[in-house]
Structure 1
Amino acid sequence: MQGPEVPVRVAVRVRPLLPRERLHNHQVCVRVIPGANQLVLGKDRAFTFDHVLTSKTSQDEAYSKIVEPLVHSCFEGYNATVFAYGQTGSGKTYTIVGGGNTDTITEEEYGIIPRAIKQIFSTIAENHNVDYTVLVSYIEVYMEELRDLIELETSSKDLHIREDENGNTGMGLKLKIMK
């Protein structure tokens, strides 16, 4: 059961050190405070989020805590958008798409997109007597320019960030499921 409606939730995921970082004896510069949804940077700079996922959090756990409830809400008539934000190398692609080579990726390594697609079409298959329309956009902001990662031929000049009358912003991975 979810609490009161919250328009935006923020989750942070601490990625594990990469092999090359371990090889060069790099150290993790953040600590997660268990049960407090807090991340501590350095010695004393604490930040609180709705969800804090440690470097040991599996892809499945990240999906089930953060995205699965959003997909359920789409089937209840709500729109959902997932933004992945962070600097290069922070783990966005790993979380969104998954780890490893796309030709050899295992189900355990699937990111949130393959998991969401599986959940969406499983739910649709379970409700075979209902007609659905699934609309998906996958937009990247890179160097202050928008790129459509589904329709690669789309010019960045044809993409716009829009805000509706309720203050909802349209971009990112966006799902809309209509009955």
Structure 2
Amino acid sequence: MSEVCVQVAARIRPLLPREVLHNHQVCVRVVPGSAQVMLGSDRLFSFDHAFGPTDSQDEVYESCVRPLVESLVDGYNATVFCYGQTGSGKTYTVGGGHLGSGGYGGIIDRVAQDVFLLLGEKRKNSDGVEAKVRVSYIELYKEELRDLLELHTVHKELHIREDERGNTGNEKTLRMCRCL
């Protein structure tokens, strides 16, 4: 794994059908051959990766997430953090399967497939390898946390906490950390 702990990628989603219908125009574009995004005609922003509306789910996953999954299977922690205003394309990138993505899965589908594939390969090649998979899918919206994998989670049930060792997380994940 490389020495860089945090990388930032920008993804510009395709226009929605209703945006095309109303003749909306793309005001943000990737500068060809770079990891820069141009806003309007003159404002440049640099990232570790930049993806335009024609870049596939596969390109985003292979460039940004697959290396994390490979490191995860080797015992490192990994986090994919998606940030943006409502309608910016977080669900398109994370969930996939709509908005003209050709039915290809997003990050979640691909991570699930690769984690179990890589763990299976690791188990095949080693004696006694045992793995436990734990997943969190947390939404932070208007300063309220919600675990999207728990059907009965009410917005205000989860709180960000720090334990005595300086670990930060919600109460549920900190309880799991103490159990290890």
TM-score by length of 1: 0.82
- Where does structure 1 lack aligned partners over 5 or more consecutive residues? 175-179
CA deviations over 1:23-48 (Å, ceiling 9, x no partner) = 11111001211222100101211100
Match of 2:177 in 1: none
Residue type at the aligned position of 2:110: R
**For the residues of structure 2 that align with 1:87 and 1:166, how far apart are their CA atoms?**
33
Q: Aligned-pair RMSD on alpha carbons?
A: 2.6
Equivalent pairs counted in the alignment come to 166
**For the residues of structure 2 that align with 1:167 and 1:32, how far apart are their CA atoms?**
39
Does residue 139 (structure 1) correspond to residue 138 (structure 2)? The answer is yes
CA contact under 8 A between 2:146 and 2:157: conserved in structure 1?
Answer: no
Once the two structures are TM-superposed, the CA of residue 168 in structure 1 deviates from its matched residue by 7.4
Match of 1:177 in 2: none
- Where does structure 2 lack aligned partners over 5 or more consecutive residues? 174-180
Larger proportion of strand: 1
Give 1:26-175 correspondences, 5 Å limit.
Answer: 26-100=24-98, 108-128=103-123, 129=127, 130-162=129-161, 170=169
% same residue: 60
TM-score by length of 2: 0.82
CA deviations over 1:94-129 (Å, ceiling 9, x no partner) = 11011239xxx97x5200001000001111222334
CA deviations over 1:54-95 (Å, ceiling 9, x no partner) = 111111111111110000011121100111111111111111
CA contact under 8 A between 2:29 and 2:37: conserved in structure 1?
Answer: yes
Q: Say which SS state the counterpart of residue 147 (structure 1) adopts.
A: strand
Residue type at the aligned position of 1:147: R
Match of 2:13 in 1: 15
Once the two structures are TM-superposed, the CA of residue 152 in structure 1 deviates from its matched residue by 2.5
**For the residues of structure 1 that align with 2:87 and 2:39, how far apart are their CA atoms?**
18
Residue type at the aligned position of 1:54: G
**For the residues of structure 1 that align with 2:33 and 2:163, how far apart are their CA atoms?**
36
Once the two structures are TM-superposed, the CA of residue 167 in structure 1 deviates from its matched residue by 8.1
Once the two structures are TM-superposed, the CA of residue 143 in structure 1 deviates from its matched residue by 1.8
Q: Greater relative contact order (Cα 8 A, min sep 6): structure 1 or 2? A: 1
